[in-house]
Amino acid sequence: MDKEYSSLDISRFLMASFFGFLGGHLTNYSVILFAQDVWNSDLYAGMGFALCFGVPLFLGWFAGAWCDSNSPAKLAQIAHFSFLASIGFLHFSSISEESFSRVLFLIGSGFAGIGWAILAPARMALLGRLAGKNQKSLAVVFNILVMLGFGAAPPILALSKKWGSWEYVHISGFFLFILSIVLLIGMKVPGFGKSGSALDRIKKGFGYAFGNPLLKQTLILAVIIYLSMGPVQVMLPRYATGILHLDEISRGLFLGTLALALLVGGGTSLLLAKKLGMGNTIFLSGFLSGSGILSLGLSRDIHLSILFLLISGLGAGMSISLLVAILQSESEPEFRGRLVSVYTVTSQVVPATSGLLSGIALTKFSVDVTLIGAGSIIGILLFLGLLKLSVLRSYRHT
């Protein structure tokens, strides 16, 4: 179990992770934007997004246990095939009659949720096995690629749709997952074996995660940070068209500015943490993210909106990178799959819930008012976290 993996294995894994997460976020955005652009339905956008990231609420715990007992590389491949099924259903949804189309749309969103439920813990468990003693640095690199995939998906979607149609968007996602599958072929990373039923292992994983004060508080803060992801993905497309009056390409590029901010935030997170401490840096960056969202709701100017989006993305990039680094470096290998499943379920279910609530809120309130409300709630919760999460706040090790 102490096998050292080559730099080629690590490079293949990182490339597969980037293509897989890019394809996953492209799928998420295609769900949201198809519902908004074709059906003009924020409710279906929220429902689809909730399925994409809501299925892990039920499946994610088992996926974490599977990642500890079985090969995380094989589980990642299963997730890739689930995404391919999702893309197939979404494609047929785009060319079917509207009544049947909506059923296919929701089924496709559900398969994306299955993919996310398995892929996220499998990738992080695989990272922990490959990284060896370089857990924190590789965790930051890994998370930068994840965020780059998140930020690069909107402009790729816009360009694909501009060159062709929704079919081109789905073809792009299909090839991204094929690349991910090919890159992981032949990677042999065995599991740790089973020690009881899946439910017993899940219970032990919870005991481990919440029995350690630092890990427990890291997971609690992750809930607060990830509350911002739902509004960002559901509200920003509507904000770009309804408030800034951007065309399709401009909207994609506007949303894609997140990629730059997330990259810079993730890349500078450890440097800033060395000066301020990891705990302080996480809270500071969280406040930056929330204030950026709130400020977007007050802006009508494209230049100011880009600035506020960059500020929000910078804060999100720093905070998420450091949260992942703590979880990877402070966890025991045999529990890592189950620990990161708690984190990944958090990173999926919380955005799914806030995304669904965002979709519902947009049916009642204007997008600017909803953004202001979301940013304010995040700021209040972060302030309460700053007061209560003392172990994480004082954590400095880098």
| Better-predicted residue by pLDDT, 111 or 195 | 111
82-105: burial string, b at 16+ Cβ within 10 Å, e else = bbbbbbbbbbbbbeeeeeebbebb
Residue 1's pLDDT is what?
A: 46
Judged against a pLDDT cut of 70, whether residue 178 lies above it is answered with yes
**Is residue 133 assigned to a domain?**
yes
**Nearest by Cα to 16 from 247, 177, 203, 207:** 177
Judged against a pLDDT cut of 50, whether residue 319 lies above it is answered with yes
Judged against a pLDDT cut of 70, whether residue 3 lies above it is answered with no
Q: What percent of the chain has pLDDT over 70?
A: 97
Residue 19's pLDDT is what?
A: 96
- Residue 71: give the domain boundaries: 7-185+194-393
* pLDDT digit string, tens, across residues 63-79: 878 887 888 899 999 99
Q: What is the DSSP secondary-structure string of 236-254?
A: HHHHHHHTS---HHHHHHH
Angle, CA 227 vertex, CA 278 and CA 54 arms, to 5°:
120
Residue 170's pLDDT is what?
A: 94
Mean per-residue pLDDT of the chain: 86
Judged against a pLDDT cut of 50, whether residue 90 lies above it is answered with yes
Residue 152's pLDDT is what?
A: 83
**Is residue 288 assigned to a domain?**
yes
SS3 273: helix
| Better-predicted residue by pLDDT, 68 or 363 | 363
The whole-number average pLDDT for the span 181-188 is 92
The whole-number average pLDDT for the span 184-190 is 86
Residue 271's pLDDT is what?
A: 87
**Is residue 120 assigned to a domain?**
yes
368-396: burial string, b at 16+ Cβ within 10 Å, e else = bebbbbbbebbbebbeebbeebeebbebe
Residue 112 pLDDT class (50, 70, 90 cuts) = very high
**Is residue 233 assigned to a domain?**
yes
Q: What percent of the chain has pLDDT over 90?
A: 34
Helix (H) or strand (E) holding 5: none
* pLDDT digit string, tens, across residues 226-264: 888 877 778 888 899 889 998 878 888 887 787 788 888
Please, are residues 22 and 149 in contact by the beta-carbon 8 Å criterion? Answer: yes
The whole-number average pLDDT for the span 343-361 is 81
- The alpha helices in 164-277, defined as continuous H runs, are 166-184, 198-211, 213-226, 229-242, 248-276
| Better-predicted residue by pLDDT, 159 or 57 | 159
**Is residue 1 assigned to a domain?**
no
Judged against a pLDDT cut of 70, whether residue 314 lies above it is answered with yes
Judged against a pLDDT cut of 80, whether residue 186 lies above it is answered with yes
Helices and strands (H and E) in the chain: how many: 16, 0
Residue 193 pLDDT class (50, 70, 90 cuts) = low
Task: Kindly list the distances between the CA atom of residue 298 and the CA atoms of 57, 308, 380, in Å, as whole numbers in the listed order.
Answer: 34, 10, 18
**Is residue 259 assigned to a domain?**
yes
Judged against a pLDDT cut of 90, whether residue 362 lies above it is answered with no
* pLDDT digit string, tens, across residues 132-149: 777 677 888 888 888 788
**Is residue 2 assigned to a domain?**
no
Residue 196's pLDDT is what?
A: 64
How many angstroms separate the CA atoms of 276 and 345, rounded? 29
**Is residue 318 assigned to a domain?**
yes
The whole-number average pLDDT for the span 205-224 is 89
Check which CATH number belongs to the domain holding 326 and give it. Answer: 1.20.1250.20
φ/ψ of 145, rounded to 5, equals -65, -40
**Residue 4 DSSP symbol:** P
- Total domain count, the chain: 1
